Chains A and B, each alone.
Chain A
């Protein structure tokens, strides 16, 4: 067969080519095998990681924020249930219809409805969209009860911050708010919690400064998701830890009382426990409602707060720096005694003014006080006596003493914008103003005017330190998670006890001796008697023109040019327990406006509630009784200034 012969002849040729082909194919197989090895053996760990990243999402579980209490355990900041309604589109069917059904039960404004529909369209069908928040319980219950008829509409309970005391502690506790871009930039390594939508962090006050303790640590839930992000199951879960509860040193009753007493004024008051440094009350009036900020404040409310001349957003007790006026005189007296340039019995003659070079410095009492020793100088608040002391001792030693007493130094508290005040020195003036210090500057500083600035907190600390002779340090946090922090024993200031006794005697004279500037505000109960010092600080220079025209009555000036009224005090005189400072901005005379507030605060603190009428001078009792009958009462009219001590 010729055909077969052909094939035989042809055979080897096909074989060779066939083997060549097989070889080529095996080569390709080799490449495929090499690639498998490369993917699955050499780089498998990298790919395993990528697959896990595909599959596993971490979901943070926000911790419950720590609560804030006053010293008696009364709530100042709590987490309140936030009733809200969410919708899941894939269960709801047509979102429009679902919202129609829902709007028969609760009110859904048109704008909100449009937002929800837009959000529902944009997000995946299984992602819950918030329909309504902050419902009251009745609305929430209505929706819950009807939930079988509302597929895809889910009532949820979340937590949101609430401040039950509203204005009373607004400056101390502060408030929380949604995380802003700036909050994120401020932190070097932002907690991933901050990325959670609707997460809230402290914006001011203790809420901000103790954010680290209050926030707690996030829990972590590892969830498996599919390619479109649907949660398939939870793989595991680590519970977070709730934030620590903070107990403040503030006594809510006293704090409320202080704000009531300051109502209607732009004012601040600080009450401090002289033994422990606990700040019993720290009031700044007017306050604001921190709850407004929690879910975004309306622009009308915001500009209202911002433009109020009484500056409700500012915590004046630590941020307000004022010329301390005559409340600075104890510092000057102690500086002079420590320097040995005088002794308590030396007298200075006050003719109503003092002349230095060709300048004349007036005493507040035009006719002069006559011969004044230290006790009388303080009692009558004689300016000339302290002009002379300041001239003798010089500014640097005064400022040094002020610093020892807590003025011009920063007191660390978990509060924002703490002012340092200002205790000037020669070097300071040269550095900042490029001018030499003048004797006149020292003389002004002698009565707490000129460059000297102090905050109400610093004045309260100064009073406490004078009262005890110890370096009392103020504190605001009394305990964390119901564990009390023991107060530290304040070290001795190292001031000669005889000097302190002389100054305290003067302060006692101010209040408890007839003709003292604070006599009208004395406490009659001997065991509770207070010692103090008034101050009236000028916010303007009295011009030569004004002098020529005669004495200007403070109340004739526009409000923002009137004098500040100040008073500092401690009580009881025999065994000091509390020190207090009060400043009423542009309030007029310290002894007439600020002293009664100081007395009332001390009595309230000492009696832990309203004191008996017998504690007040007989002449005042009727008025006090009337005021109590009216409580809680409308702001008092601003008392007219009667003296300028």
Chain B
């Protein structure tokens, strides 16, 4: 009895699915997570406690979750898109009332065994629902104004809720993620041009609102922006993070200062060294070679993801894969840009490397969807 279906067969079924699994992506995920374990071990001063070991367990759980999701037929996930979106929206509303305050923003819901960030789940749910929408919509109609409005509403609703938390970084991630799906779906470039102009207008309005009665951002958000534009203006205050993280990166040089030899992180000059700024520790200890290697792993991941999307003739699967890949790209690109002083500090973790349960599980779940789309794609 042969499990191997002959080429050209439509869709694998049963345990044979495992052979159609995208092992390349799985291996890359494990490699990136491995880098994370190593760095968490290092910033804890050469100890598995308190971060590295827990991160491994979470990755284990996340990897299992990915496998389970991947085994389920993509049709099922397509049917789950709208409920997932509505559920996430409900959670976002709920977090306003029962959320836990952390880092100056209401973000978490305590589920007992772990703390859930609804905004993380929403990133994937939004991609799902948009993919579902364009899968349903006649491609001829995607650029008609009437049919452009629903996805915009679908995007603005969660964005608004996340902004209220207030979490500007995640709101932007949601918006850009949605835009990528719409772009892939074939929405006319005119809309994007108009949206870009509109965004500029919004930025201008927001910036001019500073100090007035109708101020649109919190003071700390304005401070982050001005600090980003000129970190040296306040080197020991708000600019401290950026200044110290660029020092850490730069001092790594070509080959780094050696594993667990990074003085900036070991002596606590680095802020949040186990979460958002973990990349600086890597750069300091492994140098240019280390940072470029991690960047290479990430790039390979998005390249493989995009390739999978391109070769998928199932529109939902293709759009979902593209959207998830883009979201993943946004995560690491923004995080790296932030620690290198190219973007304001917005609180985006380095995917699979930064310590954090919520983001890890959500990301692995998302890759489960991606795998499901890959396994079940029409051949």
Contact = CB atoms under 8 A, between A and B. Distances in A.
Interface of A: 4, 6-11, 13-15, 17-19, 21-22, 25-26, 28-29, 31-33, 35-37, 39-41, 43-48, 50-52, 54-55, 224-228, 232
Contacts of A37: 288
A22 B309 CA distance: 11
B322 interface: yes
Contacts of A224: 263, 267
Interface in B244-302: 244, 246-254, 263-264, 267-269, 283-284, 287-288, 291-292, 295, 298-299, 302
Contacts of A50: 247, 250-251
Interface stretch (B34-42, B106-114, B159-167, B332-340): B332-340
Contacts of B267: 54-55, 224-227, 232
B293 to A, nearest CB: 11
A462 B313 CA distance: 117
Contacts of A55: 263-264, 267, 269
A21 B322 CA distance: 9
A32 B131 CA distance: 29
Given A15-B310, A46-B250, A25 B292 contact: no
A351 to B, nearest CB: 91
Contacts of A33: 292, 295
B184 A18 contact: yes
Interface string B310-341: 10011100100010001001000100110011
B186 interface: yes
Nearest to A9: B139
8 contacts: A22-B302, A36-B295, A40-B249, A40-B253, A41-B254, A44-B288, A48-B253, A226-B267
Q: Interface of chain B, helix or strand or loop or mixed?
A: helix
B329 A54 contact: no
B263 A29 contact: no
Contact of B340 (A18, A19, A35, A44): A35
A18 B306 contact: yes
Given A18-B322, A47-B246, A51-B247, A41 B139 contact: no
Contacts of B309: 14, 18
B303 interface: yes
A22 B247 contact: no
A29 B333 contact: yes
Interface centre among A8, A22, A224 (most CB of B within 10 A): A22
Interface of B: 138-139, 180, 183-186, 244, 246-254, 263-264, 267-269, 283-284, 287-288, 291-292, 295, 298-299, 302-303, 306, 309-310, 313-315, 318, 322, 326, 329, 333, 336-337, 340-342, 378
Contacts of B302: 22, 25
A222 to B, nearest CB: 13
Nearest 7 pairs between A and B by C-beta? Answer: A47-B250, A51-B251, A40-B288, A44-B253, A226-B267, A227-B268, A48-B251
A137 B303 CA distance: 78
Contacts of B314: 7
B250 A13 contact: no
Given A7-B315, A39-B340, A51 B295 contact: no
Contacts of B249: 36, 39-40, 47
A21 B326 contact: yes
B104 to A, nearest CB: 22
Given A25-B302, A32-B333, A51-B264, A11 B313 contact: yes
A226 B342 CA distance: 27
Given A10-B315, A29-B295, A225-B267, 14 more contacts: A9-B139, A10-B139, A13-B139, A19-B310, A31-B342, A37-B288, A40-B254, A47-B246, A47-B247, A47-B249, A52-B263, A54-B267, A224-B263, A224-B267
Given A36-B288, A36-B295, A43 B250 contact: yes
A4 B11 CA distance: 14
A226 B287 contact: no
Nearest to A43: B250
Contacts of A232: 267
